[in-house]
């Protein structure tokens, strides 16, 4: 590999993960160091970090991984005919595969005096050293260029005690990332820190004898300068490749496999050109690294896709975030919030109900959320009126109450309520273990590894701790680590290739593991049975214990048993049966659940078949309280008893439960029916909620009373009970066929948008009928009481008895 920078080294690290022994690796690096985090040079200049702190891999790391590093050796020639690279000092190495990762060079203005001593770029450790040295002896620094890098350099030099002037050719700062109001706020913030600005200034000449002393502008004005930092942009460094006759344009031209015009030569990083794009931020470079490593390792051959990137400024105390387009046009709507006194400015640019651009200044807490909405092209019309107030103000997916910036949170503040992880723990793990991604933080700290509701918060801590340029994982997430395919890819393959077994599916999609893992197997099994009801055998070895054993495992290894009580309406006989079972099997706890059922807790596993048998005898079947499927239909008493009731909600609830019991869905599914808009059955926080009104029934969908309360969306109003059942079946079926495994209706509908559901269920009456028909067909196979099979037919008997008994003293 030529180049020892971030993109190249990330490729090597990815390659070592995939195929540690595939290559003998040799690296040429022009700098005399191991590999360091170039994006953290600004904090080094600002005195917030040391060089040691930004080293990614020291020289020992190369030794440990059997990599030959030619540090401090600049490659001068690539001989493609002989497959050799030659360095300045004559060192040469031959290659089978060559990776060019030469990065970029700072663009130096071609003005007279540009080569004087004291005129530098801002690119590497050497430049930072020069700046730090100058700060000790010299006074006046001029930074040319008010982009990201220029402003970071100016801030650092100011903090090192220099008198800093920023010269910029445009009339406002960071014009590619900020609109004018945000740029003005940024300028006044930096001015208040003592940085001076000369805008609309065209540098004409740099003056000095051998060392720079002054700069002259096009209008004839001059200012003094002991140090000039050019930060007007970067240029892909592809001279070497060009000399070797590789196809180059504005960079080394690469295909979606990161291959150059020579099939043995790959290239990644800022030196490449992909389609019409060249790159200067780290996130896409890391994507390229992944792609290139998979190609080099000859494992699952990823392809590179250009994605949007976001920008943050690494100047402590300045919060700035931008992504997408910056200035609106006729086709866009701008939503703007301005509070100049508090230094807050937010602008969201919308086109066709989707976010296409974001500029945030002063409060960037929701930056990564907006960016996610932008990249995923989420329809935001439903949340438009709240959008600017941030994720926390959306009852459904925010972290209620967390309005303060992460920076203001104390280290003791709890980030993950499930696992009791504090902000301090997360920050410490990120720094000490060098964590870069959400998955790594999950693995090491357990934060956000359980219910996931704090994911956004953990990402914020990650972003805050890593500084700028942190970019969260791609929007299209693979099913698990066994594959790079997404949930949607898998579903498509199952139907298109008519795959009907786990084995065939894993073969067809080149699973990396023999038999998957605990994440993918249950998902794949679900997708198979959802696609081919009655035709595919349900693989119990790929189901979580609760669904395998048809009871809920408790912390001590005992189980809880919940018999079905239709619509929450029971009888004295049923209650007597439950009481007798509780006595007979000495069940320690009997509890009424939130779904109006009775829970028998603390049942020993070996007692389960007998407990079920007794409940069966009393006329009760499994309540499926353990399943990713229909759980309960909760009802209020309705018109049958209530003086306000408008319809028979108990009867409706019982009918819906008789229709939907036993069904399996991507995640649990709850229904409620209320007899009037007072809504005593809390139908508006259920997956499917029915609220009776005088003229018929309101149908609500995608509510959730769990981790984050989400109130349902109104789907439509219908007149008859038949329609309630038809819409319910159709909604469950489209959810079953299209949502991702473990994705609740709330998240699914947020992902695909309410208009889509309305189109499928409300507007397309033929489609609705067909969906409902498919639902009812698959119910034929699903409505078998799993308890009866085990209590009286001996299904899975091995689950409930020990194989044998052995003793030490025999």
Partner 1 sequence: MSDWIKVGKLSDIPRQGSRIINSDEGDIALFRTIDDEVFALRDECPHEKGPLSQGIIHGKNVTCPLHSWVISLEDGCALPPDEGCATHFPVKLEDKNVFLKY
The footprint of partner 1 (CB under 8 A) covers 443-444, 449-450, 513-518, 521-522, 541-545, 549, 553, 555, 557, 798, 802-810
The residue among 15 and 482 lying less far from partner 1, judged by its C-beta, is: 482
Residue pair 669/630 in contact by the 8 Å Cβ criterion = yes
Task: Give the ranges where 450-519 is alpha helix by DSSP (H).
Answer: 455-466, 487-496, 502-508
Given CA atoms 800, 806, 807, 810 in this order, what sign does their dihedral have?
A: positive
Q: Would strands 688-693 and 669-674 be described as parallel, antiparallel, or unpaired?
A: parallel
Query: Minimum CB separation from partner 1 for residue 795, in Å?
Result: 13
Alpha helices, DSSP H, located in 668-753: 721-738, 745-752
Residue 476 in 3-state DSSP?
Answer: coil
Q: Name which of 377 and 431 has its Cβ closer to partner 1.
A: 431
Q: CB of residue 509 vs partner 1: minimum separation in angstroms?
A: 16
Report in angstroms how near the CB of residue 542 gets to partner 1 at its nearest.
7
Nearest-approach distance from CB 802 to partner 1, in angstroms:
5
Nearer to partner 1 (CB atom), residue 28 or residue 626: 626
Which one, 409 or 447, has the nearer CB to partner 1?
447
Cβ 552 vs Cβ 625: under 8 Å: yes
SS3 per residue for 49-85? CCCHHHEEECHHHHHHCCCEEECCCCEEEEECCCCEE
Measured CA angle at 783 (ends 706, 772), to 5 deg:
75
User: CB–CB of 605/642 below 8 Å?
Assistant: no
As measured in angstroms, the least distance from the Cβ of 499 to partner 1 is: 18
Helix (H, G, I), strand (E, B) or coil at 211: strand
Query: Measured from the CB atom, is 401 or 557 closer to partner 1?
Result: 557
Q: Who's near 251: CB < 8 A, 6+ residues apart?
A: 236, 238, 270, 271, 272, 273, 278
| CB closer to partner 1, 555 vs 643 | 555
Residues shown for the chain: 810
d(CA 33, CA 440): 26
Nearer to partner 1, 231 or 429 (CB): 429
Handedness of CA 563, 564, 570, 571 (dihedral sign): negative
Residue closer to partner 1 by CB (options 132, 517) is 517
Using alpha carbons, select from 398, 400, 319 the residue that is nearest to residue 360. 319
| Shortest distance (Å) from residue 287 CB to partner 1 | 25
Instruction: State the nearest-atom distance from the C-beta of 442 to partner 1, in Å.
Output: 10
Taking the complex as a whole, the smallest distance from the CB of residue 445 to partner 1 amounts, in Å, to 9
For partner 1, the closer of residues 136 and 798 by Cβ is 798
Please tell me the distance from the alpha carbon of residue 338 to that of residue 180, in angstroms, as a whole number: 12
d(CA 380, CA 355): 7
Torsion of CA 512, 517, 520, 526, to 10 degrees: 120
Structure letter (DSSP) for residue 561: E
The nearer residue to partner 1, 137 or 810, going by C-beta atoms, is 810
Which residues, including other chains, have CB under 8 Å from residue 19's CB and lie 6 or more apart?
296, 297, 298, 299
The Cα 398–Cα 709 span in angstroms is 10
Minimal distance in Å, beta carbon 511 to partner 1? 11
Minimum CB–partner distance for residue 694 and partner 1 (Å): 48
* CB of residue 789 to partner 1, shortest distance in Å: 16
DSSP category for residue 505: H
Nearer to partner 1, 261 or 450 (CB): 450
CB of 544 to partner 1, least distance (A): 7
The DSSP result for 226-238, as a single string, is SEEEE-S-EEE--
Q: CB-wise, 402 or 449, nearer to partner 1?
A: 449
Of 694 and 793, CB closest to partner 1: 793
Q: DSSP assignment of 630-656, as one string?
A: EEEEEE--GGGT-SS--S-HHHHHHHH
Smallest gap, in angstroms, from Cβ of residue 743 to partner 1? 18
128 with 44: CB under 8 angstroms?
yes
Q: How far is the CB of 744 from partner 1 (least distance, A)?
A: 19
Cα–Cα distance measured from residue 37 to residue 15, given in angstroms and rounded to the nearest whole number: 19
Spatial distance between the Cα atoms of 547 and 625, rounded to a whole number of angstroms: 9
Which of 217/544 has CB closer to partner 1?
Answer: 544
Smallest gap, in angstroms, from Cβ of residue 809 to partner 1?
Answer: 7
Shortest gap between Cβ of 516 and partner 1 (angstroms)? 6
For partner 1, the closer of residues 151 and 441 by Cβ is 441
Helix (H, G, I), strand (E, B) or coil at 349: strand
Phi, psi angles (nearest 5°) of residue 58 = -85, 175
C-beta closer to partner 1: residue 137 or 804 = 804
Encode 339-374: b = buried (16+ Cβ within 10 Å), e = exposed. eeeebbbbbbbbeeeebbbbbbbbbbbbbbbbbbbb
How far is it, in rounded angstroms, from Cα 68 to Cα 126?
Answer: 23
Map residue 478 onto helix, strand or coil.
Answer: strand
């Amino acid at each position: 590999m030529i180049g020892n920078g971030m993109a190249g080294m990330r490729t090597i690290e990815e390659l070592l993960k995939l195929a540690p022994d595939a290559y003998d690796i040799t690296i040429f690096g022009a700098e005399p160091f191991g590999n360091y985090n170039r994006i953290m040079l600004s904090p080094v200049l600002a005195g917030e970090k040391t060089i040691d702190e930004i080293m990614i891999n020291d020289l020992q790391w190369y030794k440990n991984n059997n990599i030959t590093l030619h540090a401090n050796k600049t490659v001068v020639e690539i001989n493609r005919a002989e497959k050799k690279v030659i360095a300045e000092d004559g060192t040469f190495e031959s290659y089978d595969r060559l990776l060019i990762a030469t990065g970029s060079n700072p663009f130096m203005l071609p003005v007279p005096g540009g080569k004087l001593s004291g005129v530098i770029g801002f690119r590497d450790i050497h430049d930072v050293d020069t700046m730090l040295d100058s700060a000790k002896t010299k006074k006046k620094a001029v930074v040319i260029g008010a982009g990201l890098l220029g402003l970071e350099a100016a801030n650092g030099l100011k903090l090192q005690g220099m008198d800093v002037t920023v010269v910029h050719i445009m009339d406002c700062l960071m014009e590619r990332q900020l609109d004018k109001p945000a740029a003005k706020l940024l300028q006044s913030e930096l001015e208040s820190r003592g940085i001076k600005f000369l805008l609309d200034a065209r540098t004409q000449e740099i003056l000095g004898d051998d060392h720079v002393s002054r700069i002259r502008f096009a209008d004839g004005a001059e200012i003094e300068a002991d140090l000039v930092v050019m930060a007007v942009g970067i240029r892909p460094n592809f001279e070497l490749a060009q000399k070797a006759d590789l196809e180059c344009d504005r960079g080394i031209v690469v295909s979606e496999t990161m291959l150059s015009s020579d099939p043995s030569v790959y290239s990644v990083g800022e030196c490449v050109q992909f389609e019409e794009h060249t790159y200067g931020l780290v996130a896409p470079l890391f994507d390229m690294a992944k792609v290139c490593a998979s190609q080099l390792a000859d494992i699952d051959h990823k392809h590179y896709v250009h994605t949007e990137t976001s920008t943050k400024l690494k100047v402590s105390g300045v919060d700035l975030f931008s992504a997408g387009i910056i200035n609106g046009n006729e086709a866009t709507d701008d939503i703007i919030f301005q509070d100049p006194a508090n230094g807050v400015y937010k602008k969201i640019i919308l086109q066709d109900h989707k976010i296409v651009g974001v500029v945030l200044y002063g409060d960037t807490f929701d930056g990564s959320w907006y960016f996610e909405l932008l990249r995923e092209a989420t329809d935001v019309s439903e949340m438009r009126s709240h959008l600017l107030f941030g994720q926390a103000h959306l009852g459904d997916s925010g972290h209620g109450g967390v309005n303060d910036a992460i920076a203001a949170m104390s280290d003791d503040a709890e980030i993950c309520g499930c696992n009791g992880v504090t902000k301090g723990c997360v920050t410490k793990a990120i720094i000490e273990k060098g964590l870069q991604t959400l998955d790594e933080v999950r693995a090491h700290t357990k934060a956000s590894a359980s219910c996931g509701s704090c994911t956004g918060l953990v990402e914020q801590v990650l972003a805050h701790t890593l500084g700028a340029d942190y970019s969260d994982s791609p929007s299209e997430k693979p099913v698990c680590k066994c594959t790079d395919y997404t949930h949607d890819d898998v579903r498509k393959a199952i139907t298109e290739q008519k795959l009907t077994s786990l084995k065939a599916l894993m073969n067809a999609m080149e699973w990396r593991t023999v038999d998957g893992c605990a994440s993918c197997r249950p998902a794949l099994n679900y997708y198979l049975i959802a696609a081919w009801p009655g035709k595919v055998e349900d693989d119990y070895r790929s189901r979580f214990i609760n669904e395998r054993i048809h009871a809920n495992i408790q912390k001590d290894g005992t189980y809880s048993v919940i018999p079905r009580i239709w619509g929450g309406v029971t009888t004295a006989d049923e209650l007597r049966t439950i009481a007798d079972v509780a006595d007979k099997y000495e069940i320690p706890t009997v509890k009424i659940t939130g779904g109006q059922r009775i829970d028998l807790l603390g049942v020993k596993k070996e007692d389960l078949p007998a407990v079920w048998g007794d409940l069966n005898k009393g006329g009760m079947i499994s309540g499926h309280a353990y399943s990713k499927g229909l759980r309960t239909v909760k009802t209020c008493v309705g018109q049958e008893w209530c003086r306000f009731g408008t319809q028979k909600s108990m009867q409706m609830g019982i009918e819906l439960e008789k229709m939907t019991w036993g069904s399996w869905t991507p995640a649990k599914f709850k229904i409620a029916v209320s007899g009037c808009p007072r809504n005593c059955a809390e139908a508006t926080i259920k997956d499917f909620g029915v609220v009776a009104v005088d003229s018929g029934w309101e149908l609500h969908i995608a509510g959730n009373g769990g981790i984050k309360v989400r109130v349902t969306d109104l789907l439509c109003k219908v007149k008859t009970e038949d329609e309630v059942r038809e819409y319910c079946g159709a909604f469950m079926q489209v959810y079953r066929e299209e949502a991702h495994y473990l994705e609740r209706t709330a998240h699914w509908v947020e992902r695909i948008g309410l208009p889509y559901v309305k189109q499928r269920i409300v507007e397309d009456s033929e489609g609705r009928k067909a969906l409902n028909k498919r639902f009812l067909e698959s119910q034929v196979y699903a409505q078998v009481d799993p308890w009866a099979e085990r209590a009286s037919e001996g299904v899975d008997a091995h689950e409930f008895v020990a194989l044998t008994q052995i003793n030490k003293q025999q």
